[in-house]
Structure 1
Amino acid sequence: MQFVQQIPGLLLLVTLLCCDSIRAQDSSNMANMTSMMANATNMTANATSPTNVTNATMVESPMPAQMPMNMTQPQQQQPSIWTTEELVTDLSLPGAPNATLDVRYNDSLQVTLGNKLTPLQASTAPTVCLRNVSVGCEPPFALLMVDPDATSRQNPQFRSWLHWIVVNVNSTEKLHEGDQAVPYNGPAPPKGSGPHRYVFLLYCQRGRRLQGSELAPEKRKNFNLAEFVNKTELGPPLAGNFFFAENP
C-alpha cells in the first residue's frame, strides 16, 4: 500500500525529468542552428569581400562576335568598256583613258563610247573637244584616230589603219584644229568584214611642238600606235572615244 501511495509522486518526478530533458535538447538544437547561421553569414561575407573577389579566378564565357549593322559586301569595280572591248590590249595602251572626248559629226551626231555609225555618217572630219575636265596638262595636244580592225577584227592583218593625226593643238575646245600631220580619212571597212572599232585618242605633247611633216608615215596601214607614242614621247592617252562602223 505504501508503494502504491508513492506512485503519483514517482509519476510526477518522471514527468519533470522528461520535461527537463526535452528543454535541454531544444536548447542544444537551438545552439546548433545559431552556430550554423553564424557560419553561413561568415562564408557570405568572405565570398563578397574585395580581397576574395580579386584573388578569385574569374571564368567568363566568351561573348559572341557581333556583326556590324547593315554590313554589305564590297562592290566590285566594273571593268572599263575600253577593257571589255579589248581596245587596251589591241592598241597596247597602258590603260583606259580617264576622260571621254566629245566627238560630233555634222555638229549633232555624237560618238558615245561604242555606238554605231555608218561610214557615210562619219565620212567628213568631226569636231572634237574636251570640256569641264582637268587633264593635268597644258597645250599643245595631239589627236589621233585609228582602226585596229583592218581588215577585220578576226583577221587584223593591217592593224592599225591610221585615219587622222592632228598635232600642236592649242585648245581643248577645238582639238580638231591644229597642224594636220595626216589628213582625215573616213571609215571604209571592207564589205562583209564585220564591225570595226574607230578610236580617237588625245595625248599631251608635254610642252613640245612637233613637226607634223615629219610624223606622217608612208602608208596608213600597219600603223604602230605604241611605237609612234614612244617615238614622240607622248605618254599615256589623256582622253578617248570610239564608235563602230561596218559595211554589211
Structure 2
Amino acid sequence: MASDSLLLTTTEDQYNDVTVGTIKCTAPIPFGGQGEWLFLPATKKFDLSRGSEQKMVFDCDEDKRNHTGFMIDPGTSVLIVVDMQNYFIHPIYRDHAAGIAAIEPILKVIERSRSEGIQIAWLNWGITEHDMKTMAPAVQRGFSNTLGWHVGLGAQLPEGQGRCLFKRTWNADLYEPFQAVAQPGDLFFDKTRMSGLWSTEEPLHEYLRASGKQTLLFAGVNTDQCLFGTMSDAYSYGWDCVLLDDCTGTMTGRGAQELTEYQVSTNMGFVTSSRAFCEAQIVRTFNYYTHMEPRMCKLCDQIINDFLPSLTLSVTWPKEHAKLGNTIKPKYLQKQPAISLHDETAHDGLATTPDLRYIVTLTDPDAPSRDNPEWSEMCHWIAANISISQKTFSILPLPEFGLTGHDSAKYGSLDDVVEYKPPGPPPKTGKHRYVFLVFAPKNGTTEPLHLRAPKDRKHWGTGKERGGVRDWAEENQLVPVAANFIYSKNKKQ
C-alpha cells in the first residue's frame, strides 16, 4: 500500500540546546486510513481526489497556509451555500455588510461550479410546528432577541413575511440574487439547528452518504455559527472541508471570521478564495492501477513493492513510445529512448524542487523466458541525472500517452550507470515484459548520487533467481516514484 512507499529520513541539528528536526521525502505522504489524502512533496500540494483522473488544482500562499495548494475531484464535490436567506441578508432585518459583500463572489463560484459539474446545494433554516415542539431550549434561546424586539423562531413577522424561518415563508426564501441563479438541478436542504449535519437523519447527511460525495465547499453566513457548525460536523463524520473565505461573512466581530478561518485551515480542512476557485486548473492525470491489466499489477508486486506513483513517466523511441502495456517490435527499440518525467499536479509545468534528480531503470523479469526465468531479472539499463520536465502535456486519452521526441529529454543527457541494452527476446520465448521504473533518493537530497552498478546484468548481480531491481534500489537507498512498461517478442515463435 501507499505507506510501504513512504520512507523518511530525519536529520537533527543542535543549536542552543534546542533540537531542530527536518523531514525530507520524495514519495507521497498518506493521511488517513480508507480514502486517504496524499501530500506530494514535489509540489507541496495535498491530493484529496483519491485517484480520480480529473483534478481541480487550487493554488495557495505557502507562507500563509504552510502548503502550496490542494486538488479535488469535481465529480465528488458539492458546493454548499448556507443561509443566504432573506431573514439573514435582507436590509429590512439587519445591516449584514459582510453577507452582502459575499454575494458577488458566491455567484462567480456558482457559475464555475456548474461548468465543472460540481453539485450546488442550498442549506437553509426551514422549521415546522413539529420542530418547534421538539427543539432544544438552547436553539430557541439563540434567536430570542435577534432583532431586539423578542422575535424568536416561529414568531409571526409583519407584512406577510411569514413565521420566523418557517418553511415556505418569504423570510426563509433565498435572497433575491440567489433566487435568480437557482436551477432545477440544484438541491435544497432544510435544517433545524446551526448544523445541517448534526444527525445522520438530516436530509443533507443522508444525501451525502448515498451519493458518495466527498469534498464539501462551503459558502454563506454566518461564518462562525451555522457555517462553522455544519463544517465541524462534516469534519467529524469524515468529509473533506473547504472554506471559501470571501464567500462567507459574519456579524459577530471580535475576530470571529479570522478565528474560524484559522481553525479550518489548521485543523479541519482547507481555506481558499473565490478567485483561486475560479482560476483553479483542471488537469487530467493517469491512474496507473486503473489502466494496468491485472497481470501487470501482479508483475509489479514481483518486481517492486507496491507504491503510489507521484510522477508520470514517458518513454519515447524514434518511432514508438511506451503506453503502459503496448507491444513494440524489437527493431524499434534499438536506440536508447528519450525519458521525460512530468508532475501533472504542477499545472504551470514548474517543479517545486527543480534540483532533485531521478534515476530510471529497465528490467526484464522474463529472461530468458517467462516459463524459464533462470536469468531473471535481467538489467537492461540504469541512468541517472533525470529532472522533471518543464513542459506540460495531457496524458489522456490512453492512445496518446507519451511525448514526442521534441518534448522529451534529449538523447545523451543522462548519466549511464549501466549502458542501455536494447530488448532482444530470444526466439520462441513468447512476449517479454520490459518494465521501466523511476526512483528518487530516500532522503530527498539534491547532491550528486554515488550509485553502485550491479556486478552483472543477470539477476542484477544478486546471484539469485528473481533477484532484481528491488534489491538494487534498496541497496542504493532509493524509492520508486513512477513506472511504465511494454511488451516485446521475437518474430520467431
Cα distance in 1 between the residues matched to 2:322 and 2:419: 20
Quote the Cα distance in structure 2 between the aligned partners of 1:136 and 1:79.
27
- TM normalised by structure 2 equals 0.33
Q: Secondary structure at the match of 1:121?
A: helix
Answering whether residue 471 of structure 2 is matched by residue 227 of structure 1, we say yes
1:193 maps to a residue whose letter is T
Tell me how far apart the structure 2 counterparts of residues 217 and 132 of structure 1 sit (CA, whole Å).
29
Task: Give the structure 1 partner of residue 143 of structure 2.
Answer: none
Provide the C-alpha distance between the structure 1 equivalents of 2:473 and 2:312, rounded to a whole number of angstroms.
19
What are the within-5 Å matches in structure 2 for residues 1-248 of structure 1? 81=292, 84-85=295-296, 86-95=298-307, 97-106=309-318, 108-133=319-344, 138-172=355-389, 174=409, 177-205=413-441, 206=444, 207-212=446-451, 215-223=452-460, 224-235=468-479, 237-247=480-490, 248=493
* Letter paired with 2:324: L
Retained in 1: the 8 A contact 2:310–2:343?
no
Q: 1:175 to 1:182 in 2, by over 3 A?
A: farther
Secondary structure of the residue aligned to 1:89 is helix
Long gaps (5+) in structure 1: 1-65
Cα pair 1:102 1:111 within 8 Å, conserved? yes
CA distance 1:139–1:84, shift in 2 (3 Å): same
Q: Flag the 1:68–1:203 CA change in 2: closer, same or farther, 3 A.
A: closer
1:98-155, Cα deviation, whole Å (9 max, x unpaired):
443111110x412100000011111111111023435876511111111111111222
The change in CA–CA distance for 1:154 and 1:72 in structure 2 (over 3 A counts) is farther
Q: TM-score, normalised by structure 1?
A: 0.61
Deviation of 1:243 (Å):
0.3
* AA of the residue aligned to 1:128: I
Shift of 1:174: 2.7
What secondary structure does 1:84 align onto?
A: helix
What runs of 5+ residues in structure 2 fail to find an aligned partner? 1-202, 214-286, 390-407, 461-467
Higher helix share: 1
1:100 and 1:82, CA in 2 relative to 1: closer, same or farther beyond 3 A?
Answer: farther
Query: Residue 329 of structure 2: SS of its match in structure 1?
Result: coil
Offset, 1:73: 8.9
How far 1:156 moved relative to its partner? 1.5
Q: What secondary structure is seen at the aligned counterpart in 1 of 2:332?
A: coil
Structure 1 residues 188-215: Cα deviation after superposition (integer angstroms, max 9, x where no partner): 1111111111111111122342235xx2
What is the Cα-based RMSD across aligned positions, in Å? Answer: 3.1
Which secondary structure does the structure 1 equivalent of 2:428 belong to?
coil
Contact 1:129/1:175 (CA < 8 Å) preserved in 2? no
Conservation of the 8 A alpha-carbon contact between 1:151 and 1:157 = yes
Kept in 1: contact 2:367–2:375 (CA 8 A): yes
- TM superposition shift of 1:180: 0.7
Count of residues in Structure 1 that have an aligned counterpart in Structure 2:
178
* d(CA) in 2 for partners of 1:82, 1:113: 9
Contact 1:143–1:175 (Cα < 8 Å) also in 2:
no
CA distance in 2, matches of 1:175, 1:93: 30
> How many angstroms does 1:92 deviate by?
3.0
Distance 1:169 1:71, change over 3 A: closer
Per the alignment, do residues 227 and 68 of structure 1 end up closer, same or farther by CA in structure 2, a change over 3 Å counting? closer
Large movers: runs of 4+ above 6 Å:
66-70
CA contact (8 A) 2:310 2:481 kept: yes
State the AA in 2 paired with 1:151.
P
- Of structures 1 and 2, the one scoring higher in RCO (CA 8 A, sep 6+) is 1
